[in-house]
């Protein structure tokens, strides 16, 4: 396991502005080794071609939802252990329960507050 601040993090969201916010939030916390994907399909290509320690993804994406991407990650033997944090505006309890059952490590509700984000990452890797 790399030192926590050296984690290679993939941020997946179909809105560039949201990716930028998440990447900047991670940078504020000292996580500068980030890459980004604008949909689930390109995220899977990146995950299959490089080693990532952590995935931060949006629930609501057009081509492939965050839930579908999570299910894909969990179905691939050499990816299934990667911790996944879902960012969502959607607080429907049944969606969160379904995501946790599918292997989600944690979720955070937008807007993402830096201290809360830090606590969640510490909890995942703590």
The dihedral formed by the CA atoms of 24, 107, 88 and 121, expressed in degrees to the nearest 10? 0
Task: Check residue 2 and give its pLDDT.
Answer: 47
> Tens of pLDDT along 12-21?
999 999 999 9
Identify the band that residue 126 occupies on the pLDDT scale cut at 50, 70 and 90. Answer: confident
* 104 or 109: which leads in pLDDT: 104
What domains can be seen in the chain, in order of their start residue?
4-125 (3.40.50.2300)
Give the strand pairing for 34-37 and 106-109.
unpaired
What's the first-to-final CA gap in the chain, in angstroms? 12
Are the beta carbons of 70 and 84 closer than 8 angstroms? yes
> Tens of pLDDT along 36-51?
999 999 999 999 999 9
Residue found by looking up tokens 């899977």 in the block: 44
Supply φ then ψ for residue 67, to 5 degrees.
-65, -45
């Amino acid at each position: 396991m790399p030192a926590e601040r050296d984690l290679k993090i993939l941020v997946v969201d179909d809105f560039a502005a949201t990716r930028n916010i998440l990447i900047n939030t991670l940078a504020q916390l000292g996580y500068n080794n980030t890459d980004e994907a604008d949909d689930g399909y390109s995220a899977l290509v990146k995950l299959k071609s490089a080693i990532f320690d952590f995935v931060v993804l949006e629930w609501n994406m057009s081509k492939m939802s965050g839930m579908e991407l999570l299910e894909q990650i969990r179905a691939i033997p050499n990816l299934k252990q990667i911790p996944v944090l879902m960012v969502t505006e959607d607080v429907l309890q049944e969606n969160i329960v379904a995501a946790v059952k599918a292997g989600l490590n944690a979720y955070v509700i937008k807007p993402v507050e830096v201290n809360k984000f830090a606590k969640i990452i510490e909890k995942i890797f703590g």
